[in-house]
Amino acid sequence: MDIGTFSALAEPNRLRIVELLAHGPLTVGEIAERLNLRQPQASKHLRVLLEARLVSVHADANRRNYALQMEPLQEMDAWLNNYRRIWNERFDNLDHYLQELQSKPEQ
Amino acid sequence: MDIGTFSALAEPNRLRIVELLAHGPLTVGEIAERLNLRQPQASKHLRVLLEARLVSVHADANRRNYALQMEPLQEMDAWLNNYRRIWNERFDNLDHYLQELQSKPEQ
DNA sequence: AAGGAATATTCCTGTCAAGGAATATTGAAG
DNA sequence: CTTCAATATTCCTTGACAGGAATATTCCTT
């Protein structure tokens, strides 16, 4: 698991940017406006997200369109797989326990 | 999505602690030993993980057993759901594209 | 060529977090 | 009650990072 992903998402404004870009690519100005950020800060946060490969840029003349990149999130997803096993096991144990209760209803 | 989870995991040693605890609860000393950390740093990192609810403690006399807690990871999992939709869509699009190619093999 | 819009970068400052070293706490055993 | 083992906490220093303000860059328009 690449820690850069966690670091990038550990900042409130950057997390909001990611969630905003989930609905489609946006320009720096649009992001700054919707999140009530000053333009330089928006740029800086986007730079960090870019280095974490969480977004990509596509220059369109004066403007720059930032789009969400799924790879780091997919990596997170894959990383979580190890833990899903664990919490499923625990759930299974609970399940077995409940079935035990069912099979001996009045004890 | 709780940012505290990302912040806690954004530190290499803490991520390693979490991955270590995936195999079962451990004591502070065991964690420090296996990760080549000094005991105070291990304690401090565990404190952060505790505040992020990523681990729980169970005092056993002199020792303290730390165990992984799944809730924050499950929350991450739920948060990722929004994005799984997106990358599945894109995969579907690619899929359609490949089928188009198949239906017009020699063009 | 000049001006303006969109964006990036730089400099500065304050805050926060991490590691090292030392020390405090807690519990068990003699 | 003293000692020792396991763990937590404190103090200190250093480095990273975020925001503000100002400035640089790039590209379009006229």
Q: Residue B26 has which token pair?
A: 């451990």
**What kind and span of H or E run contains A55?**
strand A55-60
pLDDT value of residue B88? 87
Q: State how far the alpha carbon of A54 is from the alpha carbons of A73, B9, B63, B79, in Å.
A: 8, 17, 41, 15
pLDDT value of residue A88? 87
Domain architecture of chain A: domains with CATH: 3-70 (1.10.10.10)
**Protein residues contacting strand C, judged by Cβ under 7 Å:** A 27-29, 32, 39-40, 42-44, 46-47, 57, 62-64; B 11, 13-14, 38, 40-41, 44-45, 48, 59, 61-62
Average per-residue pLDDT in chain B? 91
Give the three-state DSSP class for B64.
Answer: strand
Asked if A1's CB is within 8 angstroms of B15's CB, the reply is yes
Nucleotide nearest to B46 (CA to C1'): D8
pLDDT value of residue A89? 80
Asked if B12's CB is within 8 angstroms of A10's CB, the reply is no
B107 confidence band (pLDDT: 50, 70, 90) = very low
Tens digits of residue pLDDT in B16-27: 999 999 999 999
Tens digits of residue pLDDT in B26-62: 999 999 999 999 999 999 999 999 999 999 999 999 9
Q: Mean pLDDT across the stretch A97-104?
A: 68
Tens digits of residue pLDDT in B68-83: 999 999 999 999 999 9
Chain position carrying tokens 């780091």 = A72
Q: Residue B39 has which token pair?
A: 């005991």
Asked if B82's CB is within 8 angstroms of A22's CB, the reply is yes
Q: Please, which residues bridge with residue B57 across strands?
A: B66
Nucleotide nearest to A12 (CA to C1'): D18
CA-nearest residue to A24 within chain B is B86
Tens digits of residue pLDDT in A65-86: 999 999 999 999 999 999 999 9
Q: Mean pLDDT across the stretch B100-107?
A: 62
